[in-house]
Amino acid sequence: MTSLDDLPIRDDLRGLTPYGAPQEHVRVQLNVNENTHPIPEDVATDIVTALAKAVLGVNRYPDREFTELRDSLAGYLGHGLTRDNIWAANGSNEVLQQTLQAFGGPGRSVLGFPPTYSMHSIIASGTGTKWLTAGRDGGYELSPETVVAAIERERPDVVFLCSPNNPTGTALGLETIAAAYEAHPGILLVDEAYAEFADGDTALTLLDGRPRLLVSRTMSKAFAFAGARLGYLAADPAVTDALRLVRLPYHLSAFTQAAAVAAIAHAPEMLAMVEDIKAQRDRMIAALPELGYTPLPSEANFVLFGGVDDPHATFEALFEQGILIRDVGIPNHLRVTAGTDAETTIFLDALGWLGSVGRIDA
């Protein structure tokens, strides 16, 4: 049988492992930070109507410029943005990939601050961009001084910041982002996949007068639209022109565009569960110490918690109960998504029970 090693694959891809969060259909799935609430039925009906209309034109290529969708996204974001500031792709992962295709690539580098979103380094390797890393401050914070020192030391072509950061939940102060921009002559991308859950200011407020700043967002998390695959960014119009050089023509299908426009028209309804999800997050942060764990503060829809003697054993014990959370590879830590009230209860009860019967360390 042929194995990967037998193929003439690029040398820089040899030995790498693909993104592989488990996709197991258990009763409580809290491992990839989805919005676990189904979308409202009236929104679903409108989306189906839009898809039905789109299918009648599917013999033709879709609008390559996804103009209506860019108008919708600009309206949703506000901050004086117009369609010329907006770019979109099949998930923000594709937006990040296109960003590195245009501004990174062979001979260039991108700097990140682990622990951070695992796809950042995977997209770097896929685009042949060198992945550089620098450390964080205590509590996974990032001060302006720490970021500036790393930029001056590493001299990257692109900098990725993530706020709130996955998997730690840490939000960045705008002063850190502004300082990174001043210190860095290249592209600065702020991944704001969890912005709707955060209390602090968005980097969108910094865009004016900063043409090398890119702010990426997604409909996969707060918007409850992960299956539709729609990510986007806001930046100077010149940046979107750069991304047009690397995107495949018609990369957003007519169905994706129609579904996303219909969903954004119902933005308040689609985002209705955000406050509830934040309450579940805060409930876990309050309850975990009573079970002997040390949760980190979070401005996202998940909680990273420490004090886990054997993360693999705890992960497996919960999985046996039909509860899927995430081992993100940080020693003595696990990450859990904030889901519904019922899901939080099942998770906390199971964790408490495992501790009380001595199955795990708590």
Ligand X SMILES: *Cc1c(COP(=O)(O)O)cnc(C)c1O
Interface residue list for ligand X (CB under 6 A): 33, 91-93, 117, 162, 166, 191, 193, 218, 220-221, 226, 231
* Tokens 């209309």 sit on residue: 53
Name the burial class of residue 226, with classes exposed (0-12), middle (13-18) and buried (19+) by CB atoms within 10 angstroms of its CB: middle
* Count of residues in the chain: 362
Pair of tokens at residue 245: 């050089």
Please count the CA atoms within 13 angstroms of the CA of 164 that sit on its side-chain side.
23
Nearer of residues 72 and 218 to ligand X, judged by Cβ: 218
| Residue 191 CB, nearest approach to ligand X (Å) | 5
Q: Which residues of 58-94 are buried (b: 16+ CB within 10 A; e: fewer)?
A: eeeebeeebeebbebbbebbeeebebebbbbbbbbbb
Q: How far is the CB of 53 from ligand X (least distance, A)?
A: 25
Residue 172 CB, nearest approach to ligand X (Å) = 12
Helix (H) or strand (E) holding 238: helix 237-244
Rank residues 105 and 112 by Cβ distance to ligand X and give the closer one: 112
Nearest approach in angstroms of CB 230 to ligand X is 7
Burial class (CB in 10 A: 0-12, 13-18, 19+), 205: exposed
Choose between 192 and 360: whose C-beta lies nearer to ligand X: 192
Of 193 and 234, which has the nearer Cβ to ligand X? 193
* Shortest Å, Cβ 60 to ligand X: 27
C-beta nearest to ligand X: residue: 91
Closer CB to ligand X, residue 191 or residue 299?
A: 191
